[in-house]
Amino acid sequence: MSKYQHIKQTAYEANMQLPQLGLVLFTFGNVSAADRDLGVFAIKPSGVPYSQLTPEKMVIVDFDGNTIEGDLRPSSDTLTHAVLYKHWEGINGIVHTHSTYATAWAQSQRCIPIFGTTHADHLTTDIPCAPPMSDELIQGNYEYQTGFQILDHFKEKGLDPKKVEMVLVGNHAPFTWGKTAEKAVYNSAVLESVAQMAYLTEQINANAPRLKDALINKHYQRKHGPDSYYGQ
Amino acid sequence: MSKYQHIKQTAYEANMQLPQLGLVLFTFGNVSAADRDLGVFAIKPSGVPYSQLTPEKMVIVDFDGNTIEGDLRPSSDTLTHAVLYKHWEGINGIVHTHSTYATAWAQSQRCIPIFGTTHADHLTTDIPCAPPMSDELIQGNYEYQTGFQILDHFKEKGLDPKKVEMVLVGNHAPFTWGKTAEKAVYNSAVLESVAQMAYLTEQINANAPRLKDALINKHYQRKHGPDSYYGQ
Amino acid sequence: MSKYQHIKQTAYEANMQLPQLGLVLFTFGNVSAADRDLGVFAIKPSGVPYSQLTPEKMVIVDFDGNTIEGDLRPSSDTLTHAVLYKHWEGINGIVHTHSTYATAWAQSQRCIPIFGTTHADHLTTDIPCAPPMSDELIQGNYEYQTGFQILDHFKEKGLDPKKVEMVLVGNHAPFTWGKTAEKAVYNSAVLESVAQMAYLTEQINANAPRLKDALINKHYQRKHGPDSYYGQ
Amino acid sequence: MSKYQHIKQTAYEANMQLPQLGLVLFTFGNVSAADRDLGVFAIKPSGVPYSQLTPEKMVIVDFDGNTIEGDLRPSSDTLTHAVLYKHWEGINGIVHTHSTYATAWAQSQRCIPIFGTTHADHLTTDIPCAPPMSDELIQGNYEYQTGFQILDHFKEKGLDPKKVEMVLVGNHAPFTWGKTAEKAVYNSAVLESVAQMAYLTEQINANAPRLKDALINKHYQRKHGPDSYYGQ
């Protein structure tokens, strides 16, 4: 048995959640799961329908994007995953989807404003939207540069990827991550729900106010702060 | 067997309806069921996935918010439930969700206008939206104060909680209630449907007229009045 | 066995299609099926959940609204059905729902403009929206007068109920009908789909043009004209 | 066994995907599958519910629209399929639906702007919308002329049907095609998703920018170019 079996299994199960949560059409999404001790991650093979996935088909890739094990070609977005794993130490799972509402915001090139507590339960800032890359970078090593586009946007905005576990890539679509692949999938579903609610909020009230700081902090802290009291 | 078994069972069944009705994502909702003779209510444990719920996992809490029985921590919204039970005598079930359309109206900080008979079949006023709390109250005992925010808004607007069994908490999300937990869940589904229809109504006709009083009264009375003739 | 068994069965099956087609929440809808030789129709009992319906629970009512057979109270909308059956000879099935998009148009008090061939495959005019009734009529025999409100609106607009098998009642919700109860249910689903498309069309292009007459006639005639060539 | 059995089977399976993908209500859609060596295509019979379809019920038609084999009348849109097969050599499958969002764009008589990479993964231009036909053509051989309306629009816009495998027919609905019937169905689902995202994008940002050329080319080439690296 492969010594990577555990992350293949994790990545497989996390990938299979995407269609169940209504986050992907056909093969438009992928999840990876990392093992930092082994310095690798397991990721969905490119273009394989979810109905044909098995744990064995997951591809093992190192943090520089080299395929370590697997007969299939990894997801075309593999280098974006590799860059994020290499530079952001705390994350062990990454998800990319083209989920409908989050992608519509990305296409609109707008951050998603923080309008309510559903949003603040998960992060305290607007959901960032990284601008599209320069033509030069797009024509170069595109997926590799997509990773740096995300890293640079977080640096520029002073965002902490342990606290803001999601991003929209302008004109493209969302990426989410987390301590585990399962958490990264959870974040993708939360993002899609928050994106739909924010869209509706602006339709109902074009002047809807941003959530006030006291509520942002209260909701975030009760779930994530040192004295959190949500969950068991 | 626990002497609270009957309300644990009721609360369990009512909680399980939320995902079936499409009203919750993950654990973003909770239902409680009260027994006024015993002075307690059963409520969902905090952060436990619906797929793992059992009647035994429900937590028994008194109307001051003290846990009476149960190994798990109750919902983080428990104090809001406790306040409403303590001050509103006629209600025996309470539901909190972040359902999409109702939450969008809450985030918009607007009451839902009464546009049609679907609305008037259930209440005769706009669906109220309580304003967000002051920073001081938020930073204090937040969930406890959320209960009072709802009570105060009903007092201020002269609303009767036996006739208006739902509220939006501004920037947050809806609460509904009823004579039973099952009725409270029913009200959550009605609210979500009415919220979607009202949103669409304004999109189709920005000057859509409010339902006229004769229709409001006719529809409400035929379902709830002394000479009601709806149902068996 | 009841001599009305055949229409009880027909009405039962047609009612059960409403939740399958996503046209009703809880009990917010009803279907009836008529036998003109017997001068009666079978209709859903009031407020009974679809999961508890059986053919035997259907109520038999004559065209003046008198209950002829059945232990349960008939739908609160029964008199509206009776009036339409009594005055419009060609119809043998009627459906009332509060389906989301059609109800939003009714609440907007707007006819649904004919924007495309999906609409023209079924009727050649805008889908009519009858105005809300006068207060006097509402406070009188409401459901009976709702029937006349529909009849009067069709007379006033010169519409033929054999060609226009659907109407929105302003501020309320849609009614549809047809040669059979099954066709009436079909019309309810078509109406909901056309209502959603028309809503989206205006959002995408506020100046979207009405379908031109040549296309209206071509699509209607190929399905319903003397030389129709749709179907088997 | 019919010598056309293979395309009957292919057309049957492709037709059955339409309701599974949520692209049709009732019988509002059809798929055909061609065998160019035999000079014929298999197409859904007109007005037959999907639940009653079998491979044997598919109708075999030549590229001039003559029925070659089959007891049932072919889809009313058969001549449109025939014209496209006759004039566009590379295609072996065609789909027509009235899917909600694509049809709303068709009714709006607008091309769908290319706003993001989901779109560019499949084509590099806006999704074309052919104008409604002249009254003369509509009143003539309508479905035959619909085929020419599509052909003419592609010629006028300089579009290559091997690269742009979809079109909106103004006021009507979409057609898609591809090397296989399965690919044509895939394109219909992609079109519906892209249509929904584009609608939402304009709602969120009325001035949303078109996707820039570098991203259009990058995404299209990585899936379809000579050095493509998507899939296995």
Torsion of CA C52, C55, C57, C63, to 10 degrees: 130
Query: In chain A, which residues have their Cβ closer than 8 Å to the Cβ of D231?
Result: 46-47, 73
pLDDT tens sequence across C65-101:
999 999 999 999 999 999 999 999 999 999 999 999 9
Of all residues in chain C, what percent carry a pLDDT higher than 70?
100
Confidence of residue D1 (pLDDT cuts 50, 70, 90): confident
Q: Write b or e for each residue in B97-135: b if 16 or more Cβ atoms lie within 10 A of its Cβ, otherwise e.
A: bbbbbbbbbbbbbbbbbbbbbbbbbbbbbbbbbbebbee
Cα dist from C141 to A96, C147, C149, C176, whole Å:
59, 10, 12, 21
Per annotation, catalytic residue among C35, C50, C62, C121 = C121
ipTM, two decimals = 0.97
Closest chain A residue to D183, measured at CA? A26
**List of E strands, B10-155:** 29-35, 40-43, 59-62, 67-69, 93-97, 129-130
pLDDT tens sequence across C218-229:
999 999 999 899
Query: In chain B, which residues have their Cβ closer than 8 Å to the Cβ of A211?
Result: 171
D71 Cβ contact list (under 8 Å, min separation 6) = none
Query: In chain A, which residues have their Cβ closer than 8 Å to the Cβ of D215?
Result: 132-133, 138, 171-172
Respond yes or no: is residue C121 known to be catalytic. Answer: yes
Residue whose pair of structure tokens reads 């006709």 in the numeric block: B205
Chains touching C (at least 3 CB pairs under 8 A) are: B, D
Do C200 and D132 make contact, defined as CB atoms within 8 angstroms? no
- D52-63 mean pLDDT: 98
Domain D5-224, CATH homologous superfamily name and number? Class II aldolase/adducin N-terminal domain (3.40.225.10)
Per annotation, catalytic residue among B64, B160, B213, B230 = B230
Residue type present at position C122:
H
* SS3 category, B176: strand
- A161-172 mean pLDDT: 97
Q: What is the predicted pLDDT for the residue at A141?
A: 94
Q: Has residue B45 got a pLDDT over 90?
A: yes
Residue type present at position B103:
T
Nearest of B164, B168, B152, B184 to residue B224 by alpha carbon: B164
Do C100 and B198 make contact, defined as CB atoms within 8 angstroms? no
Average pLDDT value for chain A: 97
Of all residues in chain A, what percent carry a pLDDT higher than 90?
98
Per annotation, catalytic residue among B121, B126, B144, B152 = B121
Angstrom distance (rounded) from CA B187 to CA B190: 5
Closest chain A residue to B103, measured at CA? A197
Catalytic (active-site) positions of A: 121, 230
The two tokens of residue A15 are: 């990938």
pLDDT tens sequence across A1-35:
899 999 999 999 999 999 999 999 999 999 999 99
Do B110 and A197 make contact, defined as CB atoms within 8 angstroms? no
